[in-house]
Structure 1
């Protein structure tokens, strides 16, 4: 994630966009398994962490253990005067809690993707990953050349992370209007579509099946303990309250839990 709290209010949402596109680019590397951003947002919400608190490397090991990740990439977006920006990044190793700097990426706000791509390659260099030509070419692809589309998309991500779906929907629609070839806004709009009345994939049974499926899939891919890999699948299921407290604070792998479950339910339970 990127901390944009030091940017002017109208530019601060770019931290959300830069974080998302960085995660997307890193997921194009076969050696890496990148955790879905919605899972990260869910954990931050449960822990009551702001973006600036999350990007503090001292908090990263705790968040990383809850996410079941081995490394956490964090960063800060700073203004450098005029329309200049700089990304400063760090990679936190969850196993030993060490932190390594990635090096800075600088440019103008109008060349946001050039800055973001530079940052991604610095992260990969820091990880010692050698890219294939196909991977490098995929990372260098630019989703949109429209600054207005990018900014609207970033505002949509910001609203979505704050639980404001209607405001997010309007911004994603604006982004799509500025650039018809920018495919990400359409994907977000589809994800924000209201659930169907007939249930199916959007019913609770479908959601529960999705949780189980994704948990098993992530365990198979990462080889992580089942408790770690299923902690935040689909938005904040924690298997045991005692382990919830210990998981974030202990540097050791948590014990496997054989029974007991805590389900966190949000929303207006009196709504018709």
Structure 2
């Protein structure tokens, strides 16, 4: 701006001018920006004109931490005031220069969703969930993300097929791989096991920094659109077509066979989709009970087919997902139900997987991300309304960084199912100050109302826990509907480490034992007196309601 013009502006006009520069600039690291960011906190609620032609800032300088926080806070304030255009521009800048702040992508995703920009919403909210996995907003939007990812995958598949002839082979990346479901050639109980096997392989291969792995939902949706079965992928022509449509340089698929129901054989192949050549055929055979080791051998074989050294992989690559075959079967059945949008069935199956193995993280993640059936058919506007912001106030949003401001969770999980109750603030290091220093780990707060169902294998009913807590000491009451052993009682106990141990005292006595991980509680009730002595009851939730705190 010329000096004679700049000096002729009033103070208010100067601030307005600098605000326009800030929100329109693609480079906001100028020394002038430091002053602008401070000015933004002065209560300015200017709406920036899209037709403004003010030039961007060319100088570069680093904003202070407080100035970055102010930029986020002002963007959130503009959003809450209804000035969405101004908020979007400020939050886009904040995401670029303050990537450790998780509230900027949350609110930016809200704005994108309100404008039906699904792809952009997915990117921002995936970033948010990765940084604040236990926040109450994450609890909500995981389910919306699943809906959006599926819809986006369908749209992309239809578009790719419609313009298939114009797709060029040059767009295919040699560092991208698609893992399709493995076909079952054995007994019927393993019909869906290939989906669980593929999901574990996708997770393993995703640990490799320079390898891009196509999301499972995109592969499955495209196969559905093509009406393509797993056996057809063995054909080089169809594999090449899939690679071109997915822009994947390699595809791997295979088969599972349980030999005499005691041993398991996994045969796979890795194909170069551009050369239409098989570059590897990893195989593994062993005891059915050792399926988890066989899966790792296949994962290593795939990497070796891509000229990588399996011995040089990150530690996360070698993590065993589960050693429980019943857990893997239930998880695989849940994935199949998800693929057919039978979400209630999927949630129950993922719950069964967690009952069999409470430490099965893939099943826990799937359960948390599975939508409710009532969510089918929601529009973008309805999803935005359902995920409306209810988190940190604008004044605190700037300090919301990974490892900093604590986030209270709003759901708890009994044996892996989302329960309608329990303020389970299970985040280690939460409750930090505004400077993002973070506090030390604290005992989880499990106080509140917990509602779910119980099942002993032959019958079931409803159960409600009302818990109070003082430090590690827990008290309260329990109500059990449908049980011949116990209907009501008092509870007392404590939280020690990751263990919750309660004694239930009523007409009969029982022990409640649970292990929590992140925001999950997995537990059982064991009766210790009366006719039901030694009987064990599993706790499950079939509703999946979320409550606000």
TM-score over 0.5 (shorter chain): yes
Contact 2:253/2:270, CA 8 A, preserved across alignment: yes
Distance 1:56 1:203, change over 3 A: farther
Counterpart of 2:335 in structure 1 is 157
Contact 2:304/2:310, CA 8 A, preserved across alignment: no
Counterpart of 2:383 in structure 1 is 202
Q: Which of 174, 196, 217 matches 1:38?
A: 217
Aligned partners of 2:259 and 2:340: how far apart in 1? 27
Contact 1:55/1:76, CA 8 A, preserved across alignment: no
Contact 2:283/2:298, CA 8 A, preserved across alignment: yes
Aligned partners of 2:184 and 2:323: how far apart in 1? 25
- Provide the aligned C-alpha RMSD in A: 2.6
1:179 aligns with 2:357: yes
Contact 2:186/2:259, CA 8 A, preserved across alignment: no
Q: Give 1:50 shift.
A: 2.0
Secondary structure of 2:341's aligned partner:
coil
Aligned partners of 1:26 and 1:52: how far apart in 2? 22
Distance 1:203 1:132, change over 3 A: farther
Distance 1:12 1:52, change over 3 A: same
Distance 1:17 1:101, change over 3 A: same
1:79 aligns with 2:258: yes
Contact 1:2/1:77, CA 8 A, preserved across alignment: no
Contact 2:331/2:349, CA 8 A, preserved across alignment: yes
Contact 1:6/1:78, CA 8 A, preserved across alignment: yes
Counterpart of 1:66 in structure 2 is 245
Counterpart of 1:190 in structure 2 is 368
Q: How does 1:1-272 map to 2 (within 5 A)?
A: 1-131=180-310, 133=312, 135=314, 137-194=315-372, 195=375, 202-203=383-384
TM-score for both structures, normalised by structure 1? 0.68
Distance 1:38 1:57, change over 3 A: same
TM-score for both structures, normalised by structure 2? 0.35
Contact 2:204/2:299, CA 8 A, preserved across alignment: yes
Aligned partners of 2:362 and 2:313: how far apart in 1? 21
Contact 2:266/2:285, CA 8 A, preserved across alignment: yes
Moved over 6 A (4+): none
Counterpart of 2:489 in structure 1 is none
- Who wins on radius of gyration, i.e. which is larger? 2
Contact 1:85/1:108, CA 8 A, preserved across alignment: yes
TM-superposition CA deviations, 1:16-40 (whole Å, max 9, x none): 1111101111111112100000000
Distance 1:80 1:97, change over 3 A: same
Q: Give 1:152 shift.
A: 0.8
Contact 1:88/1:104, CA 8 A, preserved across alignment: yes
Contact 1:71/1:93, CA 8 A, preserved across alignment: yes
Contact 2:207/2:316, CA 8 A, preserved across alignment: yes
Secondary structure of 1:129's aligned partner:
coil
Secondary structure of 1:59's aligned partner:
helix
Distance 1:5 1:145, change over 3 A: closer
Q: Unaligned 5+ residue runs, structure 1?
A: 207-272
Counterpart of 1:227 in structure 2 is none
Q: Give 1:133 shift.
A: 4.5
Contact 2:236/2:277, CA 8 A, preserved across alignment: no
Distance 1:56 1:156, change over 3 A: farther
Contact 1:69/1:94, CA 8 A, preserved across alignment: yes
Aligned partners of 1:185 and 1:22: how far apart in 2? 14
Q: Give 1:8 shift.
A: 1.2
- Number of residue-to-residue matches in the alignment: 204
Secondary structure of 1:86's aligned partner:
strand
TM-superposition CA deviations, 1:156-203 (whole Å, max 9, x none): 112222332222221011111222221222221222223498966934
Q: Give 1:6 shift.
A: 1.4
Aligned partners of 1:56 and 1:86: how far apart in 2? 21
Aligned partners of 1:188 and 1:52: how far apart in 2? 26
TM-superposition CA deviations, 1:81-128 (whole Å, max 9, x none): 332111111111121211123231111222111000001111111111
Higher relative contact order (CA 8 A, sep 6+): 1
Aligned partners of 1:198 and 1:74: how far apart in 2? 35
Contact 1:57/1:74, CA 8 A, preserved across alignment: no
Q: Unaligned 5+ residue runs, structure 2?
A: 1-179, 388-549
Contact 2:184/2:192, CA 8 A, preserved across alignment: no
Secondary structure of 2:270's aligned partner:
strand
